[in-house]
Structure formats: C-alpha cells, structure tokens
Amino acid sequence: MKKMPARLATPALILAAALTGCSSPGAGTSAASPPAAAPPAASTDTASPSVQTVDPNTATTEELTAALASAGVDNPDRWAEEVQEYGPYTAENLEPTLTEELGKYGISQDQLSKVLSALKVE
C-alpha cells in the first residue's frame, strides 16, 4: 500500500469521515440540518431510579454507605458515619439538621443534595 503524503492525510481523513456519515440512516437529510438537541441535564434535586434510599434511623453503616455511594457521594463512608451521628431524624428535621451539621465540615451543596437524595425517613 502506497503511503499518502502527510499534508494530504488529514483532509483525506476528514473527507472520509464526512462521507461515512452520509451512508447512515437518514442520509437524505440536508447537510444544513441542525444537530440533534442534547438531552436535558439531570437534576440533582431528585433521586434517580438507580439511587438506593434508606431510612437513616434504621439503616446500618454499611447500608448507609451503599446508599450514599449509589447517589454518587464522594467519600460515602465518612458521610454515612456523620449522618448516623446526628440522628435520629424526622421527615421535617432531616434536611435542616444535615444542612447545618454537615455544613460544618464544608460539604458542597452538590454533595449535600446527593446525601439527602439517598435518605428517606419512614
């Protein structure tokens, strides 16, 4: 196979990539069509279906750690211990208590939201 000069390789690759896209389904669409819209960003205010929720009053440290990890909390072991330390909780005092107490440790709003999304007082 003959080597292509380096100055031609990049334009040739770009052209090949562009032409490859034309053979995909929907190839009859105009080249001026706008790109498909990206899906909306996920909200951190609600728990996603894959987030495991536990009652902080009855869960073991291991269960709390697993729930916080499923919510994407950084260092879930540490926060599970802190959640247990400041209980027991009611549905009314869970958020304000943890906002105040975990805030003393410099938890970010994002991480606090993730912690809260994994907890549900029953």
Residue extents of the structural domains in the chain: 61-117
Between 35 and 88, the higher pLDDT residue: 88
pTM of the model: 0.60
What mean pLDDT is predicted for residues 67-94? 96
What mean pLDDT is predicted for residues 86-106? 95
Q: Give the whole-angstrom CA distance, residue 23 versus residue 17.
A: 11
Q: Over the stretch 12-21, which tens digit does the pLDDT of each residue have?
A: 444 444 444 5
- Residue 49's pLDDT band, with cuts at 50, 70 and 90, is low
- Residue 51's pLDDT band, with cuts at 50, 70 and 90, is confident
What mean pLDDT is predicted for residues 94-98? 96
DSSP string, 12-64: HHHHHHHHHHHTSTTTTS-TTPPPPPPPPPPPSSS--TT---B-TTT--HHHH
pLDDT at 39: 47
DSSP designation for 119: B
Residue 9, C-beta contacts closer than 8 angstroms, at least 6 positions apart? none
